[in-house]
Amino acid sequence: NAGVTQTPKFQVLKTGQSMTLQCAQDMNHEYMSWYRQDPGMGLRLIHYSVGAGITDQGEVPNGYNVSRSTTEDFPLRLLSAAPSQTSVYFCASSYSGRARGYTFGSGTRLTVV
Amino acid sequence: ILNVEQSPQSLHVQEGDSTNFTCSFPSSNFYALHWYRWETAKSPEALFVMTLNGDEKKKGRISATLNTKEGYSYLYIKGSQPEDSATYLCALVRLSGGGADGLTFGKGTHLIIQP
């Protein structure tokens, strides 16, 4: 089925561990982005990409790393997990930021203990 | 940090009534304004993307307007139904060096339709 696929759906990490949240889309979308959802804060932009090889920081980039080597994939790396990174993470993609809305993945619930 | 503000934060409406809520945003470097509907335990779904001052969009009983000069957008729901219960998010896209940046969301309006 066409869409945005995020893995894993749930993850528990210990403080200091690193991990990669995977995001893949099969719609040939150029625009991809990562968001975190926290109570009372809404959805906040972490990193975004407007095409393969091009990434930029959003509102809350510290502690996260991204790369975009292909159009399809946009992984989010947590370098050294901290309890403050406990959140629900959403990946989204779009044909363009202007012509179409974004399609969201189903989210990854991450707990850092 | 961009301030995208939505009001009210929550809203209880009787079934059959019409309602509206507001999204306000800084108008500099405007590129697009998105509206999303977010149901509990699901992912946000796009309703509208608006780009031009004076734009009006409609999908069934839901419509939206855009004023880029003063920096606001309204979402209207006519004849509310229980299935309209959800959180409605607006999100701003601005011009950046690479073309356009990602979505900056407001905190949403939580709409509850009471039978």
- Mean pLDDT (whole number) for A36-59: 94
**Cβ–Cβ below 8 Å for A90 and B43:** yes
Is the confidence at residue A15, as pLDDT, over 80? Answer: yes
Q: How many CB atoms lie within 10 A of CB A65?
A: 14
The pair of three-digit structure tokens given for residue A72, joined into one six-digit string: 């399809």
Do B43 and A105 count as a contact with CB atoms less than 8 A apart?
yes
Position B98 confidence tier, pLDDT thresholds 50, 70, 90: low
Contacts of A50 in chain B (CB under 8 A): 98-100
Record: contact A98-B45, CB cut-off 8 A: no
pLDDT exceeds cutoff 90 at B39: yes
DSSP states along A37-103: EETTTEEEEEEEEEETTEEEE-SS-TTEEE--SSSSB--EEESS--GGG-EEEEEEEES-TTTSPPE
Q: Flag whether pLDDT at A98 surpasses 80.
A: no
pLDDT tens for each residue of B56-67: 999 999 999 999
Write down the pLDDT at residue B103.
92
**pLDDT value at residue A69:** 97
Rounded to an integer, what distance in angstroms lies between the CA atom of residue A111 and that of residue A56? 25
Distance between CA B29 and CA A44 in Å, rounded?
A: 19
Which tens digit of pLDDT belongs to each residue from A36-45? 999 888 899 9
Whether residues B107 and A41 touch (CB distance < 8 A) is answered with: yes
| Cβ B25 vs Cβ B89: under 8 Å | no
- CA angle, A101 as apex, A97 and A106 as ends, to 5°? 115
Task: Note the pLDDT of residue A1.
Answer: 61
pLDDT at B51 over 80: yes
Question: Rounded distance, CA B43 to CA B37, Å?
Answer: 9
- With a pLDDT cut of 70, the percent of chain B lying above it is 98
With tokens 């930029």, the residue in question is A56
Task: Supply the mean pLDDT for chain A.
Answer: 95
Contact A33 B103 (CB under 8 A): yes
| pLDDT of A62 higher than 90 | yes
Q: What is the mean pLDDT of residues A7-25?
A: 97
* Chain B hits for A43, Cβ within 8 Å: 44, 89, 91, 103, 105
* Nearest-CA distance A107 → chain B (Å): 7
List residues bridging with A49 in a β-sheet. A32
Interface test with A, best of B31, B43, B110 (most A CBs within 10 A): B43
**B1 pLDDT tier (thresholds 50, 70, 90):** low
State how far the alpha carbon of B2 is from the alpha carbons of A103, B26, B93, in Å: 22, 7, 10
Find, in chain A, the residue whose alpha carbon is nearest to that of B33: A98
CA distance B89 to chain A (A): 9
